[in-house]
Amino acid sequence: MAAIFYPIIYFLIVISPLAVILLTGPYTDHGMPYELGKAFAFTGFIIIALQFVLSSRRKWIERHYGLDMIFSYHKALAVLAGVLILGHPVLLSLGLGNFQLLTSLSLPWYIWLGKAALVLILIQIIVSGFRINLHLGFEKWRFSHNIIGGLLLVGAFTHAIATSHSDLDITAVQVLFTAIPVTGLFFYIHHKVILPARLKKNAYTISAVQQQTHNVWTLEMRPPQGQKRYSYRPGQFHFIKLHRNKGLPEEEHHFTISSTPTRSETVISTIKESGDFTSTIGSTQKGDQVSIEAPFGRFSHLYHPEDKNFVFIAGGIGITPLMSMLRYMRDKETDYNVLLVYANHTQKDIVFRQELDEMTKKGHPKLEIIHVLDDPDETWEGETGFVDDQIVSKYVDNFDDKAFYLCCPPPMRKAVLKILKEKSVPNDRIRVEIFSL
C-alpha cells in the first residue's frame, strides 16, 4: 500500500504550485509556449528540492523500496529536472518571440544566476553519469555532488524570487515555493550534519577483528554500554564510518550485516580489500569506534515468506548477505531447501568455507553447496570455469518452485539473469543485491 502511497504524494507535491496557479492565478495573454516554460521551471525546481529528501536515506521511505531503487529514481528524476530546466528558457524565448534570453549578454543578474543554475544541474547529471569514465573517485564525487547540489538549489530559488513573477504573488504559491526547498534543505542538513553527530555520539565499538581469508576481514561491532544493538533482518546492510588512528581514512561505506539477528548483541560485517578504503580494513583495531546507520535494504528472505526452496548464487564477497540468511535459517532450524552456487577464483578466496561445510552437516537448512572456481589448482575436484547454463541446469532440478537470490559481480549477474530468463523464471522469484549504489 505504502509502495504506491509515496509516489502519489510525491506527484502531488511536484504539481502543487502549478495546480494552485492554474486554479487561482491571474489571466495571462502569454502564449502556450511561455506558460509551458514557466510550468517546466516550477516543476523542475520542485523536483530538485525533493532530491534532497530522496537522497537522505529516510527509513520510512527506504523500507518500502530499498535504497538501490530510491537511488535509481533519484538519478532518473535528476535527468527529468535537467530536461525541464533546459526547456524553460527555450520555451520562454519561443513565447516571447525572440531569443535574447538565450543569446544576449546584457541580461539582469538574476537571469545569469538562472543560467548558472542550469549549468550546475547539467554538470551534476553529466559528472554523476560518467563518474567512472572521468576517473573521479567516489569520495571526491560525493563531496562535489553535495556542494553543487546545495548551490544549485539556492541559485535556482534566488533566480525565481528575483524575477518577481506575478505567479509568486499568490500566497499559496509563495508558501509552497518556500516550504518545499526549506524542507529539502532541512533533510539535507539533518542527513549531513545532525545525524552523523548523533551517530558518532552513540558510536559502536569494534569488539573483534578477524582475518577471514588472505584479503577478507571480519569486524564485530558492539553497541555502547547499556544500549541494545539495532534490530535488522538477515541480508540487510548498514553504513559504517570507522573512527580509527590518524592517517586511516574516515569514510562512510555500506557493507552487509553478515551476522544473523538471532545471535548475540553485536553486529558483524565481512569486508574484502577491494579499493582505497577497504585496503585499510585490516588495520582496524579492537576498541576503535564506529558510527553505524542501519538497517537498509530488502534483500532478505524474511520479506518473502512465500519462499521455501531457494537457489542462492554468490560471486566472491557477494556471499555476505546470503551467509546472513543461511545463519538465520540455521539458528531457526528451518527445513528450507537451499542450493548455494558459490563462485570464486581459487580455493583460498572461498570465505566462510568451514562454517558452510558445518551447516551442510547440520541439516538446517537442507543445504547443498556447489563451489565453482575459475582459476583452480590441480588439487581441486569440484566445478570449474564460470557459472553458466550447464552448471545451473546440472544442479537446479526444477525452476518452477524456487526463489533465486543473486549477489555477484556484474558479468556473472548478467549471465545468470540470462539463464533464468531462458528458463522462464518470472521476475517476482528473482531477488538481486547489487554491491554498488
Ligand X SMILES: Cc1cc2nc3c(=O)[nH]c(=O)nc-3n(C[C@H](O)[C@H](O)[C@H](O)COP(=O)(O)OP(=O)(O)OC[C@H]3O[C@@H](n4cnc5c(N)ncnc54)[C@H](O)[C@@H]3O)c2cc1C
Q: At what angle do helices 32-54 and 171-189 cross, to 10 degrees?
A: 30
The CB-of-326 to ligand X minimum distance in angstroms stands at 14
Q: Please, which residue, 140 or 394, has the CB nearer to ligand X?
A: 140
The CB-of-324 to ligand X minimum distance in angstroms stands at 9
Q: Does the CA dihedral 417-419-420-422 come out positive or negative? A: positive
In which element (H, E) is residue 417 found?
Answer: helix 410-422
Beta bridge partners of 314: 342, 407
- Whole-number Å distance between alpha carbons of 175 and 171: 6
Q: Please, which residue, 294 or 370, has the CB nearer to ligand X?
A: 294
Helices (H) and strands (E) counted in the chain, each on its own, are 13, 12
The CB-of-297 to ligand X minimum distance in angstroms stands at 6
The CB-of-283 to ligand X minimum distance in angstroms stands at 13
Reduced to 3 states (helix: H, G, I; strand: E, B; else coil), residue 240 is strand
User: For residue 191, what is the DSSP state?
Assistant: I
Q: 370-375: long-range contacts (C-beta < 8 A, 24 or more apart)?
A: 370/339, 370/340, 370/341, 370/342, 370/395, 371/342, 371/343, 371/344, 372/341, 372/342, 372/343, 372/344, 373/343, 373/344, 373/345, 373/346, 373/347, 374/343, 374/344, 374/345, 375/345, 375/346
The CB-of-258 to ligand X minimum distance in angstroms stands at 6
Q: Please, which residue, 274 or 360, has the CB nearer to ligand X?
A: 274
Cell 505567479 belongs to residue? 167
CA proximity to 9, closest of 183, 160, 148, 193: 183
User: Please, are residues 401 and 336 in contact by the beta-carbon 8 Å criterion?
Assistant: no
Beta bridge partners of 210: 218
The CB-of-138 to ligand X minimum distance in angstroms stands at 4
The CB-of-409 to ligand X minimum distance in angstroms stands at 11
Q: Please, which residue, 273 or 388, has the CB nearer to ligand X?
A: 273
The CB-of-380 to ligand X minimum distance in angstroms stands at 24
Q: Please, which residue, 58 or 308, has the CB nearer to ligand X?
A: 58
Binding site for ligand X (CB under 6 A): 138, 237, 251-256, 258, 269-272, 274-278, 297, 317, 320, 435-437
The CB-of-113 to ligand X minimum distance in angstroms stands at 32
Q: Please, which residue, 74 or 308, has the CB nearer to ligand X?
A: 74
User: Please, are residues 249 and 138 in contact by the beta-carbon 8 Å criterion?
Assistant: no
- Whole-number Å distance between alpha carbons of 35 and 26: 12
Alpha-carbon distance values, 187 to 16, 57, 135, 148 (Å): 20, 10, 30, 16
